[in-house]
């Protein structure tokens, strides 16, 4: 393992080295590719890698630096995207063999923005089939291996490969999408930072949809500052996505280091904690002590809206209805090609009436208005990102019943935030006795990403977890 390239550092650290001239985009990209070569045969984070394209982009970024041009903090930084995002000339398979011949004719809005920021795209990461699952299992393309255990543990989904790629130090950032937790679940289970953005703040154009009501785009990163840097580049109006028509760019960088003194943070005493793993509960509660020690006012509040959100999401009714609408023709013609669990969940959407759908979405709107009132005196809510840590793939995938049970457990705390329209941040806050990561969920009001990033940054700087990385020596003997 002595010749294994070291894990890539944070974007902010790498950017400083590039500005100082001690690191070049080409050298960094080659380091990432070398680490990918050494690890991904075991970890299976990536679906597609385009070395020539990545090195060409790195060379272009290097020329800009040599010319002395003023560049931003993302310039020359390699990254990866979940295989839902269109990249011109590459297939977008959405985790399914059904789409392996679907070649994108233009870039998604967010990959185009990152290209303009000078980022270097290495490739696409594996995902759950059609992004419909929180466990991270994929029977078509294989399930990425959670890097914290030699035994094959689930990585969380559906942005499974993105979580693994960042946690293993192959890239400092990978994009994911979050409909019911698909950024925050793999972030929690793999020990990275994961930002769920407010719907309407980041364009979804060119991203294979699951639910137009709930889909959002967000980064998985090695630090909170990195998440803020990427979000700053992603946000804004895009004519291709009508949900962004009122998006107002928000400054998430100026106040990032302002700390938490005087902020009112609250443990949401509701279903978030029901039947949660004892080690998860302990780690998240201790996070409150850290924040209180930094000067925040940390208390507990009743938050009945969380339970109401779950009650207003029977069987994932809205996602099922919208997913069926998106997949109707393909489902009817190729149902047997769908993963049995995913296909059966989607096909249920066929039976949902217009009255059920409209009554549910209208009830969501009313509940979201109440939440705005309930949170008027609270700067953020605190809760476990996932109620349980990662589990062995063999245990989770042993039967349909075990899969469904774990899927519901992973999605429970995250899906609440999607239904309520909140933004959310998962930050590592501890480890189980087995060495599995635990995530702290910081929920903020819609469009208040600046606040949750500020809180997450303060916590991260005060905690020891930000410097801990998985020991991957076992891969050398695999």
Q: Which are the catalytic amino acids?
A: 82, 158, 182
What SS3 class is residue 79? strand
Sequence-ordered alpha helix ranges (H) in 21-157: 25-43, 51-66, 109-116
What is d(CA 309, CA 312) in angstroms, rounded to the nearest whole number?
A: 5
End-to-end distance of the chain based on CA atoms, in angstroms? 11
What is d(CA 284, CA 474) in angstroms, rounded to the nearest whole number?
A: 30
Q: HSE on the CB side for 166, CA within 13 Å?
A: 33
DSSP assignment of 30-57 equals: HHHHHHHHHHHHHH--EEEE-HHHHHHH
What is d(CA 180, CA 203) in angstroms, rounded to the nearest whole number?
A: 17
Residue 228 neighbours by CB under 8 Å, 6+ apart: 252, 253, 256, 453, 457
Among candidate residues 202, 167, 34, 244, the one with its CA nearest the CA of residue 466 = 167
Please state, as a whole number, how many other Cβ atoms lie within 10 Å of the Cβ of residue 17: 14
């Amino acid at each position: 393992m002595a010749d294994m390239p070291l894990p890539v550092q944070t974007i902010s650290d790498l950017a400083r080295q590039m500005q100082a001239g001690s690191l070049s985009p080409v050298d960094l990209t080659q380091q990432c590719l070398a680490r990918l070569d050494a690890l991904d045969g075991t970890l299976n984070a990536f679906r597609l890698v385009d070395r020539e394209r990545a090195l060409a982009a790195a060379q272009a970024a290097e020329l800009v630096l040599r010319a002395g041009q003023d560049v931003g903090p993302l310039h020359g930084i390699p990254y990866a995207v979940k295989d839902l995002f269109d990249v011109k000339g590459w297939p977008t398979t959405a985790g399914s063999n059904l789409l392996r011949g679907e070649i994108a004719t233009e870039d998604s809005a967010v990959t185009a923005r990152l290209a303009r920021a000078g980022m270097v795209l290495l490739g696409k990461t594996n995902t759950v089939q059609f992004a419909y699952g929180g466990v991270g299992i994929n029977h078509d393309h294989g399930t990425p291996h959670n890097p914290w255990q030699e035994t094959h543990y689930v990585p969380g989904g559906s942005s499974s490969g993105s979580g693994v790629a960042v946690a293993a130090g192959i890239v400092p950032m990978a994009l994911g999408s979050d409909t019911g937790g698909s950024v925050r679940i793999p972030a929690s289970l793999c020990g990275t930072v994961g930002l769920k953005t407010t719907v309407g703040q980041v364009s979804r154009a060119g991203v294979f949809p699951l639910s137009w009501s709930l889909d959002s785009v967000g980064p998985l990163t090695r630090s909170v500052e990195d998440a803020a840097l990427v979000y700053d580049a992603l946000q804004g109006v895009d004519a291709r996505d009508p949900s962004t028509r009122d998006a107002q760019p928000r400054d998430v960088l100026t106040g990032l280091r302002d700390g938490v003194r005087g902020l009112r943070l609250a443990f949401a005493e509701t279903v978030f904690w029901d039947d949660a793993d004892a080690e998860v509960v302990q780690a998240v509660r201790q996070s409150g002590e850290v924040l209180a020690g930094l000067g925040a006012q940390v208390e507990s509040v009743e938050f009945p809206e969380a339970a109401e959100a779950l009650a207003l999401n029977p069987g994932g009714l809205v996602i099922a209805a919208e997913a069926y609408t998106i997949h109707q023709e393909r489902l009817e013609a190729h149902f047997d090609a769908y993963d049995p669990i995913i296909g059966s969940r989607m096909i249920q959407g066929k039976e949902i009436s217009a009255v059920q759908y409209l009554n549910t979405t209208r009830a969501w709107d009313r509940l979201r208005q109440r939440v705005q009132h309930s949170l008027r005196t609270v700067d953020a809510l605190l809760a476990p990102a996932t109620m349980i840590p990662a589990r062995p793939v063999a245990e989770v995938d042993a039967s349909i019943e075990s899969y469904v049970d774990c899927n519901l457990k992973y999605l429970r705390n995250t899906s609440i935030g999607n239904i309520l329209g909140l933004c959310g941040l998962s930050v590592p806050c501890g480890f189980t006795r087995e060495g599995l990561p635990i995530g702290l969920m910081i929920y903020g009001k819609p469009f208040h990403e600046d606040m949750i990033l500020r809180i997450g940054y303060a916590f991260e700087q005060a905690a020891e977890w930000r410097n801990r990385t998985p020991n991957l020596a076992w891969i050398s003997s695999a």
